[in-house]
Every structure is written in C-alpha cells, then in structure tokens.
Amino acid sequence: MYRVQKLLSKIGYCSRRSAEQLIVSGVIKINNKVITIGDKWHKGDSLTINNKEIDVSNALSQVIEIIKYYKPLGEVVSRKDPHNTRTVFDNLPDIKGKWINIGRLDLNTTGLLLFTNDGDLANKVMHPSSSFDREYIVKTDKPITQNSMNSLLLGVPINENQVGKFNKIIKNGKNIYRIILSTGKNREIRNSLKYVNLETLSLKRVKYSKIKLDDMIEGEFRYLTKKEKTTFLI
C-alpha cells in the first residue's frame, strides 16, 4: 500500500511534487475512479494516468539497487536523443523496472555516474538539501589565479540567477585541479570557470559522497556493496 505520489516517485515515473500536480489536475485514476491527494494504491489496483495503464507491479517486491558507471566522453545521459545515438543506458545491466540516473554529466564530461531502480531514492539524493560532495578533476587552459580562486570559493553568477560555488580547489598538476562542490547545477563547473575567463579542457567526476570511481574503466558498471549503499539509504 502506497500513497500514489510516493508510488509514482518510487517507480521513477515522476517526482512526488509532479505526481501531486497530476493528481490535482484529475488525470490519475485508481480502478477507473479519479483520485485526490492522500489516496492510496493497494496491491491489485489498476492505476491509470491520462487513461494509460501504468505498470507498478514491481513496487511491493522491489529490492533497491544502486550501481556506479564510468561514463565515457560522448555519451548522453538520456534514454533517447535525436542528435546522439550513444546513451549511458546502453551499457547498463537488465533490471526489473528501470534504471534512474542520480544527477547528470554533460556530453563532454566523463567519470562517475550513479543509477538506482528507486526513483524516490534518486530524488532524495539529488535534492539540494542532501548536499552530497562531488569531486572532479578539471584541466583548464591556464592557471587559476588566487583572485579567481577566491571568487569561485565565494560564489559567482551562472546560468539564470544561479550561483556557482566551489567548496575546495586543490592544485593537482600543471593547469589540473581537484574541485569539490556540493551542488549539481547545470554545467556548474564549466560556467563558473568561464565567468573567471577560464576554459575547461577536460572534466571528470571521480567521487560522489563516499563512492569513488576507483580503478574502473570507461563503459564499466559495478553494483554498490551493502556498506556503500548505506551512504544513501540512511
């Protein structure tokens, strides 16, 4: 038995907030009856959205899985993309239900990407309140000056009315830096560096909270251990 908004989030159909909006709009039915906020789905119930049957059969028996994946250059984090035939989902293992990406990496960023079969968990981990650290290795076209470092650590304007803010910047070689931040705004590192007149030549995520890329090779996936999963399940 689940509240409908939790059920739809869990199977990865949409977030709880989006589910509530669908309920209010009157397009969700259980056993052919329009539902309201707070209504619950029980095993055996028929659930439709816009008169289309939604498969929720695995919700009650679902075992939460999380995998890490080494995203290569040029793969898009989308199931279908009219401009790119290579997607991260092509290399993932079969699973009952579907894999849901926890955050994204843009086309030209490589490295650690997490997936789960539980949409509720994915939304919780991605929510800004979770503040999980992400660590990247970035190569720039020239050194980051001290003034630029100070600006990036304080926060710089990016995108539309957003702020890009790094937690740490650690020099790791000639024009190579380890950058740690706890937010996942769209192209946050690239746009923050662009603001201080730096070009990102390469960008790779190597760590998400306690989960490391380790010795994985491009295109490889690994299931998280029970201990690793507790990072996100607590």
Measured distance CA(135)–CA(137) in Å, rounded: 7
Please confirm, yes or no, whether 120 is among the known catalytic residues. no
The alpha carbon of residue 156 and the mean position of all alpha carbons in its chain are separated, in whole angstroms, by 23
The alpha carbon of residue 210 and the mean position of all alpha carbons in its chain are separated, in whole angstroms, by 16
* Maximum Cα–Cα distance across the chain: 64
The label of the residue with tokens 């309140």 reads: 129
Of the candidates 65, 10, 62, which has an alpha carbon nearest to the alpha carbon of residue 224? 65
**Sign of the dihedral defined by the CA atoms of residues 127, 128, 130, 133, in that order:** positive
Strands in 47-49's sheet, in edge-to-edge order, are 33-34, 28-30, 47-49, 52-53
Among the options 90, 106, 141, 214, which is catalytic?
Answer: 106
Active site residues: 106
